[in-house]
Chains A and B, each alone.
Chain A
Amino acid sequence: MTDATVAVVPRRPIEAVWLPFALVWLALVTAPLWLPLIGGYTALAARVVVLGLAAMGLNLLLGFTGMLSFGHAAYFGLGAYGAGLTLKFLAPSTPLAILLGTLLGAAAGALFGLLIVRRRGVYFAMVTIAFGQICYYIAYSWNSVTGGFDGLRGFDRQPLQLGSWLIDIENNDTLFYYFVIALFGVAVGLMGLLLRSPFGHSLLAIRENQRRARFLGIPVERHIWISFSISCFFTAFAGSLYALLNNFADPMALHYSLSGELVIMVVMGGMRAFWGPLIGAAVFVVVQDYISSMTVDWMAFVGLIFVLVVMFFPRGLLGMLARRKTP
């Protein structure tokens, strides 16, 4: 982290904003058309988008506020369990499941955040892991409700009812994929607006120099807490979609190893770039899918990816592109 003293944010040329935007959306919207040609499948694309959304939510905190959370899987998993439990026990309604799942994860994040934001640096990371593991153990040991180690089964996403128009996202994977990217679009739009707002700029100020931000009158602790809560909100939102995607929620979705995977997606894509985490998620999910079909020891290879990224590509894919353009 550098102590940059940038007084005026220089306006980036218009194509620098719109070109990545257009490329990303072109790729996302046409994915069901070209993915089968290169041996992929639509559910894999949906997985990329969902995990990408979770990683982008995490990046609000990690890349744009400069706080290292290693426990975001907890809020992702709570979103998944919240959605699953709603469908199973409360009401067969997809929107309600998403809403309640998201709120569950966000509320837990806001609550834990009150205790977590008191620490900084690696200690912040350590406390986030510990709080994340609380959620893991609850899901793991509360057998009667969560299904324990075997995970939560026995629910299905429900078709959407828009007036008299029925959208069958339950059985049609492609329709569900478009449903996911529509929601992804809304979430990402909100994130973009947030980052462009004065609040978003104050988060960047906190990232660059906390002490300076404090002297400028920014309530640093409260802003970090808000950023943490919002970040958990988006991650939980992605989690609820994840439960709908798989019609399943398991305790590993809350485990800190998934937190680590979310962080590596962010870093691999480039944590200073808005779209970085999505690119990272795409690479990670595809590589993981490929390796796990080749060998049972795929975890060791995932570990190798971690080490290689840290040692040789610490700026991430988009970070390297950006540096090449502006020497």
Chain B
Amino acid sequence: MMQLILFNVTNGLIIGAFYVLMALGLSLILNLSNVINFAHGNFLALGGYLAFTLAGTLGYWGALIVSPLLTALIGLIVERLMIRRVYNRDPVYSLLLTFGLAFIMQGAARYVWGPNGLPLGLPFELSQPLSASLFFITWYRLFMVAIVIVAVAGLFALLRYTAIGVRIRAGTLDLETVAALGINVHWLRTCNFAFGCLLAGLSGVLAAGQIGLNPNMGDDLLMPSFIAIIVGGVGSLTGTLLGGLLIGVAAALTTVFFPSGSEAVIYVIMAIVLLLRPHGLMGEEGMLT
């Protein structure tokens, strides 16, 4: 029993790490631009598929680095061409736009890479289990968690110590003042969107190694990421981090005792949080970290 619970907690933390990576990207875009990016799951899938294509020439390690960057570049282009046009309009338009974009990107992925699942090959070292007694943890899982930790730490450092990060945080609080201080907020939002897509692309490469690739692989991760943001508190990246891990572990633990309820439990958590703390665990309206 103990081992089963341990197994599921580990599992939950790994799944939670995915939610966190995805939700942080969504949260970044939501906080600064007030746009819910429905296509975020499709940027994740795009990252995974690009890695699949690039792995042939660059190898796994090269793909792991280049594919998220390419995803970010595509995100940047999409933002410049479409998303920026809806920033100052009724939120209904940004929702519909990213919603339509999600359909298009899914159709494109199906067209280019085919409707069937594809595997992403892993280097031999990574696919081995840790040891005979810890057979349920492969090196790959540890590696994923390590990458997530590095990425999250990198993001927080970026927001804290670099000029662009400070501007993003300031823009979250009061974009008009930031613009009045002479900062090009159009580019700020574009870069911010690209950062979000970078995180999505990275989670896509990691997810592809674990669950394989299919055109709607992002859809299953999108809803939990929403919940992670709502539970953690809109506006707080630390909250998103906490929310993602919390619902990951909660869902995995529920699998032990009540398997069919594992999807439901994250919604129950959300309802409880909304009931007791309408702003979420760490949320203060409009505050970042």
Contact = CB atoms under 8 A, between A and B. Distances in A.
Interface of A: 1, 62, 68, 70, 115, 118-119, 121-123, 125-127, 129-131, 133-134, 137-138, 141, 260, 263-264, 267, 271, 297, 299-307, 309-311, 314
A122 B271 contact: no
B96, B111, B223, B227 pick with most chain A CB within 10 angstroms: B96
B50 interface: no
A1 B36 contact: no
A134 B35 CA distance: 23
9 contacts: A70-B95, A122-B36, A126-B230, A129-B226, A130-B270, A260-B99, A267-B96, A299-B106, A310-B96
Contacts of A302: 100, 103
A126, A137, A263, A303 pick with most chain B CB within 10 angstroms: A303
B134 interface: no
Given A62-B92, A125-B36, A311-B85, A306 B100 contact: yes
A299 B215 CA distance: 12
B95 A133 contact: no
A127 B274 contact: yes
Contact of B226 (A68, A130, A301): A130
Contacts of B95: 68, 70, 122, 125, 260, 263
B91, B93, B234 pick with most chain A CB within 10 angstroms: B91
Contacts, number: 118
3 tightest A-B CB contacts, nearest first: A306-B100, A300-B107, A303-B103
B39 to A, nearest CB: 9
Given A133-B223, A137-B267, 5 more contacts: A68-B92, A263-B95, A297-B107, A303-B104, A307-B100
A304 B201 CA distance: 23
Contact of A130 (B100, B227, B275): B227
A286 B155 CA distance: 46
A70 B267 CA distance: 16
In terms of DSSP, what is the predominant structure of the interface of chain B?
Answer: helix
Given A1-B90, A263-B92, A300 B223 contact: no
A182 B101 CA distance: 38
Nearest to B99: A260
A303 B215 CA distance: 15
A96 B270 CA distance: 34
B86 interface: yes
B34 interface: yes
A45 to B, nearest CB: 26
A310 B104 contact: no
Interface in B30-50: 30, 34-36, 38
A142 B99 CA distance: 28
Given A122-B35, A130-B230, A134-B267, A306 B103 contact: yes
Nearest to A314: B93
Contact of B82 (A127, A131, A311): A311
A46 to B, nearest CB: 26
B35, B86, B94, B271 pick with most chain A CB within 10 angstroms: B271
B263 interface: yes
Given A68-B91, A133-B223, A310-B93, A297 B110 contact: yes
Given A263-B96, A303-B107, A310-B100, A141 B274 contact: no
B211 interface: no
Given A303-B100, A304-B100, A314 B89 contact: yes
A311 B96 CA distance: 10
B267 A304 contact: no
Contact of A297 (B36, B111, B230, B234): B111
In terms of DSSP, what is the predominant structure of the interface of chain A?
Answer: helix
Nearest to A123: B234
A118 B99 contact: no
A271 B36 CA distance: 21
B86 A310 contact: yes
B91 A137 contact: no
A191 B267 CA distance: 32
B92 A115 contact: no
Contacts of B101: 303, 306-307
Nearest to A268: B96
A302 B106 CA distance: 12
Contact of A300 (B35, B106, B234): B106
Contacts of B38: 260
B119 interface: no
Contact of B274 (A115, A133, A263): A115
A209 to B, nearest CB: 14
A121 B34 contact: yes
Given A68-B91, A125-B91, A263-B92, A306 B99 contact: yes
Nearest to B38: A260
A271 B92 CA distance: 11
B102 interface: yes
Contacts of A115: 271, 274-275
B222 to A, nearest CB: 9
A118 B96 contact: no
A138 B268 CA distance: 12
A307 B86 contact: no
A122 B34 contact: yes
Contacts of B264: 134, 137-138, 141
B229 to A, nearest CB: 7
A271 B93 CA distance: 12
B99 A130 contact: no
B278 interface: yes
A299 B106 CA distance: 8
A310 B106 contact: no
